[in-house]
Amino acid sequence: MHGVVTLGAGIAGLSFSYHFNHLTEIYEKEGSWGGHCRSHSTEGFTFDRGIHISFTKDDYVRKLFAASVADQYGEFSPVVYSVFASHWVRHPVETNLKGLPAELVAQCLIDFIRAEQNRDRPAGNYREWLISSFGRTFAERFHSVYSRKYWTVDPEYLTTEWVAQRIYRPTLEEVLRGALSDQFCNVYYIDSFRYPAKGGYQSFLRLMAAEAVIRYGFELVELDLKNKKLIFSNGFQRYYDTLVSSIPLPELIRCIKDLPAEVKEAASRLAHTSVVLVNLGVKKGDLAKCHWFYVYDEDFLPARVHFSSNLSGSNAPPGCTGIQAEIYHSTFKPLKVPAPDVMERAIENLIEIGILAKDDDIILTDYQDLQYANVIYDRNYRKNRELILDFLEKNHIYCIGRYGEWAYLWSDQSLLSGKRVAEKLGGDTF
Ligand SMILES: Cc1cc2nc3c(=O)[nH]c(=O)nc-3n(C[C@H](O)[C@H](O)[C@H](O)COP(=O)(O)OP(=O)(O)OC[C@H]3O[C@@H](n4cnc5c(N)ncnc54)[C@H](O)[C@@H]3O)c2cc1C
């Protein structure tokens, strides 16, 4: 018996192990656990891999996270802004138009009212959905701009299967109230969130990692399906009976020799974005206007910026502010500026919109490039993904997590994905 082997020690792999009574060995290419939920500290500042907050409604996950940090977490109502041409309005803009140029507000309202008639018309793609949900002006001036910045593609390229849990379609009354009054209308999908008091987001995973058997520095490079054998970059070989994989689906497929042509073809069409994270430590304590903000301007490099020190005071030394800017890119939209210049451009952008001043003392600059950020939901996404996952499962390989399942999963959903497979394989009977 070679047992059940797990690939990847992110939240999904750790959750699988935890719910499988740790009767599995995890092979992880990096030197530490956490994957995309990992946090790193440098010179007194702690940064996550892109903003990470827990807004799960799942009671089981909430308790597990809380127990991991011995109930030491902050609970927040999010303060989030949309920035448009130097105007700051509360997010989402659809229900908080007041403060934007009058002509733009009028056009948004006229188009929203016109769109009401088409509201329930089936949409062939994300762009059509935006226009029928919000009207042309909202769609073009805000969502399409953000689509190109975050998804790195035009909205017509995307399907709508991911929108339901993320984008609220306000009523006319909510839009009008937001345009005419100062009363903040919160229809954002995050109404409250938690964040660990210490150690960054990664701390929420502590309990699951505590007894996991993890072998670090083991990067899968070859997978022999016939003999159920794994080969790692350090030359180590390992047989398995069942394989649970949380590593990105295209990476896993790349490791497999002698694949059926249609599986290879489907995998070559899986698309995703990458993200560059610009982390800044500033010696000034009162820079944060909010928890995070979105910028609807394509000349402003980052899509989203957050203040890490506003999530937890322990994320920055006293009197300092931690800032992280996210810049997305992909094969569809390569980085506009050469990688080494991204830092400088992001700082210039933050000065332009008044977050930083020219003479601010930036005492830390740090840069990370994450190869996998978001799965792109294009027209063939569902067909290709299902074909691959089906083929793998027939070969006793179960894929879990955001990049294993190849879906737009938040961390709680990635955790539950690992738990589900543990239960399927008998973990609930231990
Ligand atoms: C920018 C950004 C912001 C996010 N914000 C939030 C948020 O606010 N709240 C929220 O709940 N979720 C958020 N998420 C989603 C969350 O990060 C994911 O759902 C979760 O981290 C996915 O975990 P995972 O275990 O599935 O994958 P991963 O964390 O990617 O784990 C996979 C592991 O496999 C390892 N690996 C890869 N290749 C190999 C190989 N060949 N051999 C061995 N090991 C390998 C990796 O090193 C990694 O440790 C965000 C994601 C991103 C990208």
Domains and CATH numbers, the chain: 4-38+198-269+380-429 (3.50.50.60), 103-180 (no CATH), 274-370 (3.90.660.10)
Hey, whose CA ends up nearest to atom 15 of ligand 1? 410
Q: Is the pTM of this model over 0.95?
A: yes
pLDDT per residue rounded down to tens, the chain (430 residues):
889 999 999 999 999 999 999 999 999 999 999 999 999 999 999 999 999 999 999 999 999 999 999 999 999 999 999 999 989 999 999 999 999 999 999 999 999 999 988 777 888 999 999 999 999 999 999 999 999 999 999 999 999 999 987 888 889 999 999 999 887 777 777 889 999 999 999 999 999 999 999 999 999 999 999 999 999 999 999 999 999 999 999 999 999 988 999 999 999 999 999 999 999 999 999 898 899 999 999 999 999 999 999 999 999 999 999 999 999 999 999 998 887 799 999 999 999 999 999 999 999 999 999 999 999 999 999 999 999 999 999 999 999 999 999 999 999 999 999 999 999 998 655 5
Ligand 1 centroid, distance to 342 Cα (angstroms): 23
Rounded Cα distance, 355 and 350, in Å: 5
| Cβ neighbours for 110, distance < 8 A, ≥ 6 positions apart | 135, 137
Ligand 1 in reach of 12 Cβ (< 6 A): yes
Ligand 1 in reach of 219 Cβ (< 6 A): yes
The helix (run of H) or strand (run of E) holding residue 403 is helix 401-404
The dihedrals phi and psi of 269, each to the nearest 5 degrees, come to -100, 0
DSSP character for 344? H
The per-residue pLDDT for 138 is 95
Which pair of tokens denotes residue 389?
């996952």
Rounded Cα distance, 310 and 292, in Å: 9
Rounded Cα distance, 426 and 198, in Å: 35
What is the identity of the amino acid at 285? G
The per-residue pLDDT for 90 is 92
Rounded Cα distance, 273 and 282, in Å: 29
**Pick from 360, 294, 352: nearest CA to 321:** 360
- CA–chain centroid gap for 263, Å, is 26
Rounded Cα distance, 165 and 163, in Å: 6
The per-residue pLDDT for 428 is 54
Ligand 1 in reach of 412 Cβ (< 6 A): yes
**Ligand 1: which of 245, 247, 399 to mutate, judged by most atoms within 8 Å of the beta carbon?**
247
Q: Are 9 and 212 in contact (CB under 8 A)?
A: yes
The per-residue pLDDT for 430 is 52
Ligand 1 in reach of 401 Cβ (< 6 A): yes
Ligand 1 centroid, distance to 10 Cα (angstroms): 6
The dihedrals phi and psi of 17, each to the nearest 5 degrees, come to -60, -50
Ligand 1 centroid, distance to 208 Cα (angstroms): 15
Ligand 1 in reach of 37 Cβ (< 6 A): yes
Hey, whose CA ends up nearest to atom 21 of ligand 1? 36
Half-sphere exposure of 164 (CA within 13 A, CB side): 1
Bridge-based pairing of strands 213-216 and 25-28 is parallel
Ligand 1 centroid, distance to 116 Cα (angstroms): 38
Hey, whose CA ends up nearest to atom 1 of ligand 1? 50
Ligand 1 in reach of 140 Cβ (< 6 A): no
Ligand 1 centroid, distance to 9 Cα (angstroms): 9
Hey, whose CA ends up nearest to atom 7 of ligand 1? 52
Rounded Cα distance, 71 and 37, in Å: 19
The per-residue pLDDT for 178 is 93
Ligand 1 in reach of 36 Cβ (< 6 A): yes
Strand partners of residue 282: 321, 362
